Amino acid sequence: MKIVVGTKEEISKIVSEEIIKEIQDKPNLVLGLATGSSPIEVYANLVKAVKNGKVSFKDVTTFNLDEYVGLDERDINSYRYFMKEHLFNHIDINKENINFPSPDALEEYDKKIEECGNVDLQILGVGRNGHIGFNEPFTSFNSTTHLVDLSYKTRQDNSRFFYDIDNVPKQAVTIGLKNIMNAKKIILMAFGESKQEAIYKMVKGQVTKEVPCSILQEHSNCTIYVDEEAYNLLKTKTEGE
Ligand code: F6R
């Protein structure tokens, strides 16, 4: 597991350049995507790169990590809406190559990922409680695409987009930890002090179901990009060793 520390702006630049390079090397790249605040600047950089003719998503296939259950794609809080707003509507991706998990086609999603040869590059954020995708604490490391009941903490974290926690859906559909681990390369980004405990546990803690992201210690090509605030606890504890 490699750790890179920088400002959000620096990291977003490095990560978008990495994605661009991967697409240049393999135009039909299979890209795993996350929503949330962490990758927004990366997506903005990708949009610019497409507009400047630096890269094309024409042959790229994307698989998003997760989606709420019960929200229409025109709902501004759905992850399909988010991805259109921040990326898909502004790049030359073939709409047929965009994939989202759905509650009535769980196994089909796993199959489709496999048929595409698995994800080449997976972009991840991480929750305060260590969730990746919507894989909450105590999710099996063997999990594949599945339905989840969202924890109060996660609903609370996400309520800023819904004005009121009661409007946050109680269920979501997510790819599993096994799917994530099957990606050939993983990039995880985390910004802000609220992530420092998750980052510390992810890098230095035991590999345990209690902290879903800790499984990433076992991935052979995983880089964690953090800002100083998210790095702080790990830095302090490492210095004290
Ligand atoms: C989003 C996702 C989540 C987020 C995580 C961090 O598709 O899968 O695991 O990556 O909740 O969210 P932000 O980036 O908003 O802090």
Q: Per residue of the chain (241 residues), what is the pLDDT tens digit?
A: 999 999 999 999 999 999 999 999 999 999 999 999 999 999 999 999 999 999 999 999 999 999 999 999 999 999 999 999 999 999 999 999 999 999 999 999 999 999 999 999 999 999 999 999 999 999 999 999 999 998 787 788 788 778 888 889 999 999 999 999 999 999 999 999 999 999 999 999 999 999 999 999 999 999 999 999 999 999 999 886 7
Give me 126's structure tokens: 């991480």
What DSSP assignment string belongs to 95-149?
GGGEE---TT-HHHHHHHHHHTTS-SEEEE---TT--BTTB-TT--TT--SEEEE
Q: Could you tell me the two tokens for 192? A: 């802000």
Residue 173's DSSP bridge partners are 67, 147
Asked whether 201 lines ligand 1 (CB < 6 A), one says no
Cα(38) to centroid(ligand 1), Å: 7
What was the pLDDT predicted at 55?
98
Residue of minimum CA distance from atom 10 in ligand 1: 125
pLDDT at residue number 239: 81
Check residue 225 and give its pLDDT.
98
Helices (H), the chain: 8-25, 40-51, 79-86, 106-115, 152-158, 177-182, 196-204, 228-239
**CB of 34 closer than 6 A to ligand 1?**
yes
127 lines ligand 1 (CB under 6 A): yes
> Residue 55: which residues within 8 A CB-CB, separation 6 or more?
20, 23, 24, 46, 49
Q: What is the pLDDT of residues 70-118, one digit of tens each?
A: 999 999 999 999 999 999 999 999 999 999 999 999 999 999 999 999 9
pLDDT of 61 reads 98
Distance in Å, CA 239 to ligand 1 centroid: 28
Residue 19, φ and ψ in degrees, nearest 5: -65, -45
From 15, 38, 186, the mutation candidate for ligand 1 (largest count of ligand atoms within 8 A of CB) is 38
Q: Distances from the Cα of 140 to the Cαs of 71, 113, 212, in angstroms?
A: 26, 19, 8
Two structure tokens written together for 58: 């024409």
3-state class of 30 per DSSP? strand
What mean pLDDT, rounded, does the chain reach? 96
Q: Could you tell me the pTM of the whole model?
A: 0.96
